[in-house]
Amino acid sequence: MSLDATGYDLVDPPAALKREPVGGVVHERGNHGPDEVRRPDHGERPRRSRVLQVSKFYPPVMGGIETVAWELTEGLNHCGRPTDVLCSHQLPRTVVDTTEASYAVVRAASVGRLLSTSIAPAMVGVLRRLAPGYDVIHLHMPDPMGALAVFAVRPSARLVVHWHSDVVRQRMAMHAYRHLQDWVLQRADAVVATSLAYAQASDALKPFRHKVTVIPIGITDQRDQVRPHVVAAIRARHPGCRLVFALGRMTHYKGFEVLVQAAASLPADCRVLIGGDGQRLPELERDIARRGLGDRVLLLGHVRDDELASHFEACDVFCMPSTLRAEAYGVAMVEAMVMGKPIVATDIAGSGVPWVNRHEQTGLNVPVGDAQLLARTLERLLSDAGLRRRMGEAARRRYLNEFRAELMTERTLDLYDALITSDQTPLRWRSEDRTGHPLTLPPRAATVETEVT
């Protein structure tokens, strides 16, 4: 049995880790070689453009990129735009998962991992077989295997690159990856950035700003997943206490060590709950023990999907203490906004984080790494119920106006339609000395920042 990072078999994950697709749960249809993979029959759905999302992984393997790919695939199919998925498997075989809604998830065989990347050379053969059946290929980056597959296959479809983040840490690997990355950006017909701030600060995107459209990440409203008995149980474990909740992988840029340090300066009736697992969890446990904060800072480990909304509901304030631009957006903040919770986040230069959390409106932003100021800012919110209520209500309004999954889907559809109806030849066929033109989008997408200047 091969297990993912949560310890579960990927072929048959437990129900708690499954996100419910449009038409029901996902079922494995069997093992396939690249030559056996066919684009699924979408039946009587509207013709329009057919879309292939290319993602590093796909649920039940969860992460920021995977969440966006899932929301888009579900939303596009709901809108009648036939959309399938190609991603890496974590097992040495290619499988096709299908849903009752008739969209397919093709997981290309992997031979292992290197630098957090699944090495799945089968993606090349699978994409070569699938590509002629699609009008738009939507590639989520950074993803070396997906980029390599597009480079090798040279599909004639319109290519949309979804720029989730720059490669900011693996500098040695970047020397080899940069040429591939630049080729993909040159080939792209459009580049989607998740915030204007991140796009403007990205060195990689500078030569391609004329192609960039900003489409903020949107998520599904999960208030109906709140379980009152779970909320009551969380509060009962900390009677009379004010609760700060934080969530994320235990990795180098999340800044949880700064939050632990800040917790030492919070009033005695405050509790900090940190959800998530990862390689830095033992280090954080030792830090909490060394500071004698075991009764005030609790590490929850992996928070199950069916209890996540209840944890957001139970808290008084959500905190995102990230320290580096690797935190490109902060989807967990949007999850807090869904529940109408005020946010304390960090003012990371060149990141979308301070744009998502508007200072003095939806919450408060503090300088990176300043534990004392973080503590004072958290205490300001924790001690003022009226301020928490006003900022929480503003956070909920911001979610409804800007960060709903439906808005992300509509804006993406507008982009696809602009590309499909354009009389420009796909960039693959342009001479190398041409630079392309900024996209002109329909009015619906014009409500957000659509161009990087």
Mean pLDDT of 295-324: 96
Q: Does the pLDDT of residue 319 top 90, yes or no?
A: yes
Supply the pLDDT for residue 60: 86
Q: Is the peptide bond before 142 cis (omega within 30 degrees of 0)?
A: yes
CB 273 within 8 A of CB 315: yes
Q: Does the pLDDT of residue 382 top 60, yes or no?
A: yes
Lowest mean pLDDT among 29-43, 88-102, 414-428: 29-43
When comparing pLDDT for 401 and 171, which is higher?
Answer: 401
Q: Does the pLDDT of residue 173 top 70, yes or no?
A: no
Angle, helix 371-382 to helix 256-263, in steps of 10 degrees: 60
Q: Does the pLDDT of residue 158 top 60, yes or no?
A: yes
Q: Does the pLDDT of residue 398 top 70, yes or no?
A: yes
Q: Give the residue among 114, 15, 98 at the shortest CA–CA distance from 58.
A: 98
> What are the counts of helices (DSSP H) followed by strands (DSSP E) for the chain?
14, 17
pLDDT bin (cut points 50, 70, 90) of residue 111 is confident
Angle, helix 385-402 to helix 371-382, in steps of 10 degrees: 100
Q: What is the pTM of this model?
A: 0.82
Supply the pLDDT for residue 358: 98
Mean pLDDT of 189-213: 95
Supply the pLDDT for residue 115: 66
One-character DSSP codes across 174-185: HHHHHHHHHHHH
Supply the pLDDT for residue 98: 84
Q: Does the pLDDT of residue 126 top 50, yes or no?
A: yes
- In the block, tokens 């632990």 appear at 260
Supply the pLDDT for residue 3: 28
Lowest mean pLDDT among 38-42, 147-151, 389-393: 38-42
Question: Which residues, at least 6 apart from 450, have a Cβ–Cβ distance to it below 8 Å?
Answer: 213, 214, 439, 441
Q: Is the peptide bond before 216 cis (omega within 30 degrees of 0)?
A: no
For 334-343, how does the pLDDT look when each residue is reduced to its tens digit (9 = 90+)?
Answer: 999 999 999 9
- What the chain holds in terms of domains, given with CATH numbers, is 15-214 (3.40.50.2000), 223-402 (3.40.50.2000)
**Alpha carbon distance 54, 85 (integer Å):** 6
For 217-262, how does the pLDDT look when each residue is reduced to its tens digit (9 = 90+)?
Answer: 999 999 999 999 999 999 999 999 999 999 999 999 999 999 999 9
For 34-87, how does the pLDDT look when each residue is reduced to its tens digit (9 = 90+)?
Answer: 455 554 454 443 346 899 999 999 988 878 899 999 999 999 999 999 999 999
CB atoms within 10 A of CB 43: 7
Task: Provide, rounded to the nearest whole percent, the portion of the chain with pLDDT above 70.
Answer: 80
Supply the pLDDT for residue 49: 86
3-state secondary structure of 19: coil
Task: Provide, rounded to the nearest whole percent, the portion of the chain with pLDDT above 90.
Answer: 72
Supply the pLDDT for residue 112: 80
What are the beta bridge partners of residue 159? 137
pLDDT bin (cut points 50, 70, 90) of residue 33 is low
Exposed/middle/buried for residue 221 (C-beta within 10 Å: 0-12, 13-18, 19+): middle
Supply the pLDDT for residue 102: 78
Supply the pLDDT for residue 286: 97
What are the tokens at 393? 């209500």
Supply the pLDDT for residue 1: 28
pLDDT bin (cut points 50, 70, 90) of residue 30 is very low
Instruction: Specify the DSSP element, H or E, that contains 282.
Output: helix 281-290
Cα–Cα distances in angstroms (integers) from residue 166 to residues 146, 174, 293, 446, in the given order: 15, 10, 35, 25
Which DSSP category does 447 fall into? G
Mean pLDDT of 292-304: 96
Mean of all residue pLDDT scores within the chain: 84
Supply the pLDDT for residue 404: 98
pLDDT bin (cut points 50, 70, 90) of residue 22 is very low
